[in-house]
Structure 1
Amino acid sequence: MKALQDLDIFVRTVDTGSLSATARALDITPAAASAALKRLEAELHTSLLVRSTRSLRLTPEGAVFLEHARLALTTLGEGQQALSTGRHQVQGVLRLAASSDMGRNVLLPWLEDFQDQHPQVRYRLTLSDRMANMYSEPVDAAFRHGKPRDSSLVALSVAPDNRRVLVASPAYLQAHGTPATPQDLAQHDCLCFMLGGEVNDRWTFARDGQPLAVRVQGGHVTNDGDVVRRWALAGRGVAYKAWIDVAHDLAAGRLVALCPDWETEHVPLYLVLPDRRQLTPALRLLREFVAQACATLPGAENVSQTGR
């Protein structure tokens, strides 16, 4: 359907901010993409985009039409899927983003299992600890610890009881001793995560309803959450990680949970989307699949009961 393709090119061009990027993603020439936009504008008898050699922007009419185009693409896509594969099957490309640690060590095998069940589904997976810009980057949904600061985003709960857990390897604890309270962290090497140039060296806890913030320090700082986990496994220090990211390490004894009597920071896992209408049947099934996988991780029953 040429009209549907023209709508897709228009929406993609707005999202990427680049006609050339849209052409590359669809494996067509920039001239073909430009012709599609001109054809759409001719059919609507209005200009949708103001284009120059270096930039493009929506016209007021284009901004109004954009949301209708998004809804039309979603509706038509679901209709095509229902006709071609049946309502109990899903297909298409899921453009996903996730943090480096969860993406590599937890989510990746789950995606493989999900694809085994739904072979018509394909992935484009972006791993970064920086929250993707859901409006300008080619991402449909992102798995993230903690609710996004941007209130315009839709955050669907996946693992509501997820918390951080204070961990270290047996080798580190044998060499440096075991902290009995969060205050004892002042005498330990702490592995810190950095985001946007800001080091997260203020770790929060609570006990008997009383909050406690501890300023930590150490010789290892990184902007990659997976590196923090690897340092912890290598015995380089104490880490404050999301439980989902280290559940298997804790169960296998590669890491040990510390200060179990203290309540740790609550970091629920969400599936984040720019618009609820983008929750396709494939994304809906994937969310349910990942939620079930989180619930069956070793030690899951203890997270909500003990606050660890």
Structure 2
Amino acid sequence: MNEFHQLKGHDLFAMTVFLSAAKSRSFRATAIEFEVTPSAISHSIKNLEERLGVRLFNRTTRSIALTDAGERLAAKLRQAISSVADAMHEVEDARETPRGTVRINASDVAIRMILRPILARFLRAHPLIHLDIVTDGRLGDIVADGFDAGIRLADAVPQDMIAVHLTDTASFAAVASPGYLATRGRPQVPQDLHRHDCVCFRFDSGLIYRWEFERHGIVETIDVKGPLTLTDQILMVDAAIDGIGIAFVPDFLVSDALKTGALERVLEDWCPTFPGVCLYYPGHRHVSAGLRALINAIKQ
């Protein structure tokens, strides 16, 4: 208790500033976050270093980097701040009405498949909850990046997370426009795609997705080629409708186009089914009432 009383208000502020700068590696970005000048951030860090008697950052004119002492302090403070935040959340959850911000990290497909259908209804039912949804194609660290939960395909969820299954399975569909198929013919087996124009997909990491097919235990992985590469699967669907080539996307994205005849399926008996979509969160973190309300709304 005596150690706690030795902390002053400006110490707590300085530690919060330090953690932000440690994450962003930029005093300027930290200044924007706290709505102060970069010099104020630099002054706060300098005072903290003088109080502790150690250098926390190595500085150049262009960048900052944590020292070994800074790395150790950041690791300890993240744990402490997380514990304080959990304690605050538990007190807040004692109230009957869920409230506060719930931050979700999800792929574009997961957002369209899982969140979009329930957003309006959920926000009307919970007017004191603010959803902060970030579209991210990378499988980032939701803890380090400050998210309450992530949504991904089940086989992409980190093993140390608690996963809540939202769908049983997910399927892909290879599709093309009737005009394209009339001109170029229909592929009968995955290897036929080497003779077709395909709409390629690029991950945020820069890697090009290799199309994966499976039938009767036989797996075919195809490095497709084509005139167009995209990072947006909705645009891939549009490109297929426009006759640019064959697209390979989650089937729910093309359900309407298949019904209207704007697209037709090919290689249907080769298209695989994957484990379903999960919402996941760290097991050591308190689950807020707002996140629990969102999980319940999705399940319903």
TM-score by length of 2: 0.71
Contact 1:129 1:225 survives alignment (8 Å)? no
- Number of residue-to-residue matches in the alignment: 289
SS of the aligned residue for 1:162 comes to strand
Q: What does residue 199 of structure 1 align with?
A: 208
Q: Would you say 1:56 and 2:64 are equivalent positions? A: yes
Q: Would you say 1:281 and 2:296 are equivalent positions? A: no
Contact 1:204 1:265 survives alignment (8 Å)? no
Task: Give how far 1:50 is off.
Answer: 1.5
Contact 1:17 1:136 survives alignment (8 Å)? no
Q: Would you say 1:168 and 2:176 are equivalent positions? A: yes
Change (3 A) 1:270 1:37: farther
Q: What does residue 230 of structure 1 align with?
A: 238
Task: Give how far 1:237 is off.
Answer: 2.3
Distance 1:29 1:91 in 2: 32
Distance 1:5 1:250 in 2: 56
- The correspondence for 1:28, drawn from 20, 31, 36, is 36
Task: Give how far 1:192 is off.
Answer: 0.9
Q: Which amino acid aligns with 1:50?
A: F
Contact 2:105 2:142 survives alignment (8 Å)? no
Change (3 A) 1:155 1:31: farther
Q: What does residue 71 of structure 1 align with?
A: 79
Contact 1:129 1:224 survives alignment (8 Å)? no
Change (3 A) 1:143 1:60: same
Q: What does residue 292 of structure 1 align with?
A: 299
Unaligned runs of 5+ in 2: 1-8
Q: Percent identity?
A: 26
Distance 2:16 2:287 in 1: 16
Distance 2:119 2:53 in 1: 43
When structure 1 is superposed on structure 2, of 168-177 and 212-221 the one drifting more is 168-177
Distance 1:105 1:122 in 2: 20
Distance 2:252 2:287 in 1: 25
Contact 2:200 2:230 survives alignment (8 Å)? yes
Task: Give how far 1:39 is off.
Answer: 5.7
Distance 1:14 1:250 in 2: 49
Distance 2:193 2:124 in 1: 44
Change (3 A) 1:168 1:18: same
Larger Rg: 2
Distance 2:92 2:291 in 1: 19
Change (3 A) 1:56 1:138: farther
Q: What does residue 220 of structure 1 align with?
A: 228
Q: Which amino acid aligns with 2:123?
A: Q
Q: Which amino acid aligns with 2:245?
A: G
Distance 2:55 2:177 in 1: 57
Q: Would you say 1:190 and 2:176 are equivalent positions? A: no
Distance 2:42 2:256 in 1: 50
Q: What does residue 129 of structure 2 align with?
A: 121
Contact 1:242 1:267 survives alignment (8 Å)? no
Unaligned runs of 5+ in 1: 294-308
Task: Give how far 1:132 is off.
Answer: 4.9
Aligned Cα root-mean-square deviation (Å): 4.1
CA deviations over 1:27-74 (Å, ceiling 9, x no partner): 23334434544565566x354721424333334343333333223333
Change (3 A) 1:282 1:146: same
Change (3 A) 1:15 1:180: same
Task: Give how far 1:225 is off.
Answer: 2.8
Q: What does residue 299 of structure 1 align with?
A: none
Distance 2:162 2:264 in 1: 31
Contact 1:145 1:269 survives alignment (8 Å)? yes
SS of the aligned residue for 2:274 comes to coil
SS of the aligned residue for 1:236 comes to coil
Distance 1:135 1:19 in 2: 22
Change (3 A) 1:179 1:73: same
SS of the aligned residue for 2:269 comes to coil
Distance 1:46 1:148 in 2: 43
TM-score by length of 1: 0.70
Task: Give how far 1:193 is off.
Answer: 1.0
Change (3 A) 1:242 1:47: farther
